[in-house]
Amino acid sequence: MAWPATVAACAIALMPAGASARPEDPPPALVALALDTSGSIGRASLARAKDLAPALLASLPAGSEVAVIAFDDQPRVVVPRTSRPELIAQRLEAVQVGGHYTALHDAVFDASRYVREAPGASKAVVLVTDGVDDNSALDLEDALKAAQEARIPVFTVGVGAHPREHVLRRIARLTGGDYMPFERARAADLATRIVSAAVAPARREPTAVPAGPSPTPRGGSGRVIAWGLAVLVALAAGVLLMVRRAHGALVRVPPPALVPALPPAEPADLPRPSVGSALSPTVLARMNQTEEYLERTIT
């Protein structure tokens, strides 16, 4: 009988194209490593922290780039985004402890803007600091808002003798990143967390999702379930058709009544948001102050 072959052919046709394919390689990432170079860090801690940048780049997916933003009195780009670990190590040799203050909040803001404005790739910020801020133009809420609105996770690494873990954990939690003390910070582990955050954007959604129908499952398990349901439907239809043919009474279902189409609804006028209306004067001043050096290093 040709019917089983027909059912099998239908099942194969309904099977998603990627159901048996191997998982795709993770996309390249662009990471801004914000490195605290203030006096509270200390020379020994800074020397160890500088080794993290080239090691992180080597652990990220192929085609990834890392930029380094050092900050003490002010943030500054010391290594523009690059895919060459040896260039990062070379540029960081000249970075030393200095300054009298720590512009931590401004550094988070600038690093978030840096990766946000750059084209392509999944993006993240790695903040290596003791969590002390004493000279920023912005408060922490303004800095976090820049990362949250751009959906950029901030991964914090605590260094120094007494890092303020409660501050660093809060920054990571509110942006969808993770916190780890420097003693347990490994470049490979950090790269894995960055890639995981890039393929799971739901982690970075701060707002609750309204109740509604259950979404269709994603990933490999969702494709297998959909394929299995398609096979069951095809088999059930085949069995029903064979039973009806055996009794010689094939039921014909009349076509559904045509429902007249409704006229298209008139589009509603949506309010046009005013650019910059939600930004405080302090944030706007910070954006203007850093615009020039960001443009020089992003392009």
pLDDT tens for each residue of 34-46: 999 999 898 999 9
CA–CA separation, 251 vs 85, rounded Å? 71
Count of other CB atoms within 10 angstroms of residue 254:
5
Domain ranges of the chain: 29-204, 219-249
Counting every residue, how long is the chain?
Answer: 299
* Predicted confidence (pLDDT) per residue in 73-84, tens digit: 999 999 999 999
Q: Strands across the sheet with 65-71, in order? A: 75-82, 65-71, 29-36, 122-129, 154-158, 179-181
pLDDT confidence tier of residue 285, bands split at 50, 70 and 90: low
Q: Residue 194 in contact with residue 31, Cβ under 8 Å?
A: yes
User: How many Å separate Cα 20 from the centre of its chain?
Assistant: 26
Range of 118-132, 220-234, 251-265, 270-284 with top mean pLDDT: 118-132
Cα–Cα dist 79/293, whole Å = 12
| pLDDT tens digits, one per residue of 166-183 | 999 999 999 999 999 999
Q: What is the pLDDT of residues 188-218, one digit of tens each?
A: 999 999 999 876 654 444 433 344 444 444 4
CA distance 37 to 128: 9
pLDDT at 28 over 70: yes
Among 24, 1, 16, residue whose Cα is nearest residue 198: 24
CATH code at 29-204: 3.40.50.410
- The CB density around residue 128, as the number of other CB atoms within 10 Å, is 27
Q: Which residues contact 134 (CB under 8 A, 6 or more apart)?
A: 101, 102
User: What's 121's DSSP letter?
Assistant: S
Tell whether the torsion through CA atoms of 255, 257, 263 and 269 is positive or negative. Answer: negative
Identify the weakest region by mean pLDDT among 36-40, 101-105, 244-248, 259-263: 259-263
CA distance 118 to 100: 31
Q: For residues 235 and 228, what is the distance between their CA atoms, to the nearest angstrom?
A: 11
